[in-house]
Amino acid sequence: MTAQLIDGLALSKSIRAEVATRAAALTAQGRQPGLAVIIVGDDPASHVYVRNKVKACADAGLHSVLEKYDADFSEAALLARIDALNHDPRIHGILVQMPLPKHIDPHKVIEAIATAKDVDGYSTLSAGELMTQLPGFRPCTPYGCMKLIESTGFDLRGKHAVVIGRSNTVGKPMALLLLQANATVTVCHSATPDIGFHTRQADVVVAAVGRRNVLTADMVKPGAVVIDVGINRNDEGKLCGDVDFDGVKEVAGWITPVPGGVGPMTIAMLLVNTLESAERA
């Protein structure tokens, strides 16, 4: 293996330890940071995600509430719960787990969360704050990817970064964060004819598609930093990313594994955002 592994698990642990220290200081002043997590319906994967988030809060000394509702919970009732949490002084972050049942408009729900408590950074106001470099909350996954890149000591200034994927929650905010770090950024997506043409010139590649082998060894410049956001299953049912890890690790300079790369960082950055919301409150 040529590439050095970027250990997201280890980095997330050190970030969570720092969150715990700062949370304890706030708690001692009677201002314990608090996160509310709402889940509607019975999607098993979503229930695992929210359990992990609530457990991470408990481990770092944050107050958390988990509100679980049946799949037929009405949109109006959900909006009323968000309104109540917006006004709850013990809650500094509100997260509504996606996907929501079809009868609920996710945009309405996200926009109902007070911007000051939008620790997922998904609302249009938070997106605008990111775009204009105002101090709002950065979406947790791209924010975590930036921390992973930073951890390598790699200076993004003047480097070429390619993001594969342009979702509102990962690809687009990722591109903006790289741009803010003074990288020259190219965004590829499903209509990009030859992704390898772009990635072969890239010093950094972030793959956020949700499809195996989107990035293979022949598409990577030697020494590049490769961040794999994707979550997929291989033929044996094992978790894997978008990157052909075994091939790309022989060419790249740095690479994140799946699992153990971006995933743990997403939760760590959720804690950071919640803590910072409490510090600002």
List residues with catalytic annotation: 53, 97, 120
Kindly indicate which of the ranges 85-93, 149-157, 196-204, 227-235 contains the residues binding ligand NAP, using the contact rule CB under 6 A.
227-235
What span, in angstroms and rounded, lies between the C-alpha atoms of 8 and 251?
20
Q: Please state, in angstroms and as integers, the Cα–Cα distance from residue 263 to each residue in 42, 100, 162, 237, following that order.
A: 22, 21, 20, 18
270, 140 in Cβ contact below 8 A?
A: yes
Q: Which has the closest alpha carbon to 275: 82, 128, 63?
A: 63
Cβ at position 26, least distance to ligand NAP in Å: 26
Closer CB to ligand NAP, residue 133 or residue 168? 168
Kindly indicate which of the ranges 69-77, 102-110, 111-119, 205-213 contains the residues binding ligand NAP, using the contact rule CB under 6 A.
205-213
Cβ at position 190, least distance to ligand NAP in Å: 3
Cβ at position 80, least distance to ligand NAP in Å: 28
What span, in angstroms and rounded, lies between the C-alpha atoms of 266 and 9?
11
> What residues between 152 and 181 interact with ligand NAP by CB under 6 A?
164-167, 169-171
Cβ at position 214, least distance to ligand NAP in Å: 6
Interface residue with ligand NAP, options 11, 104, 188, 275 (CB under 6 A): 188
Closer CB to ligand NAP, residue 73 or residue 93? 93
- 103 counts as binding ligand NAP under rule CB under 6 A: no
Q: Where are the alpha helices (DSSP H) in the chain?
A: 8-28, 44-59, 75-86, 106-112, 124-131, 140-151, 171-180, 195-199, 245-248, 262-280
What span, in angstroms and rounded, lies between the C-alpha atoms of 63 and 61?
7
Rounded to 5°, the CA angle 66-90-18 comes to: 85
Token pair for 198: 């772009």
Interface residue with ligand NAP, options 51, 55, 90, 211 (CB under 6 A): 211
Interface residue with ligand NAP, options 231, 247, 260, 281 (CB under 6 A): 231
> What residues between 21 and 40 interact with ligand NAP by CB under 6 A?
none
> What residues between 238 and 257 interact with ligand NAP by CB under 6 A?
none
188, 162 in Cβ contact below 8 A?
A: yes
- Is 243 strand, coil or helix? strand
> Which residues bind to ligand NAP, rule: CB under 6 A?
141, 164-167, 169-171, 188-191, 195, 208-211, 214, 229-231, 262-263, 266
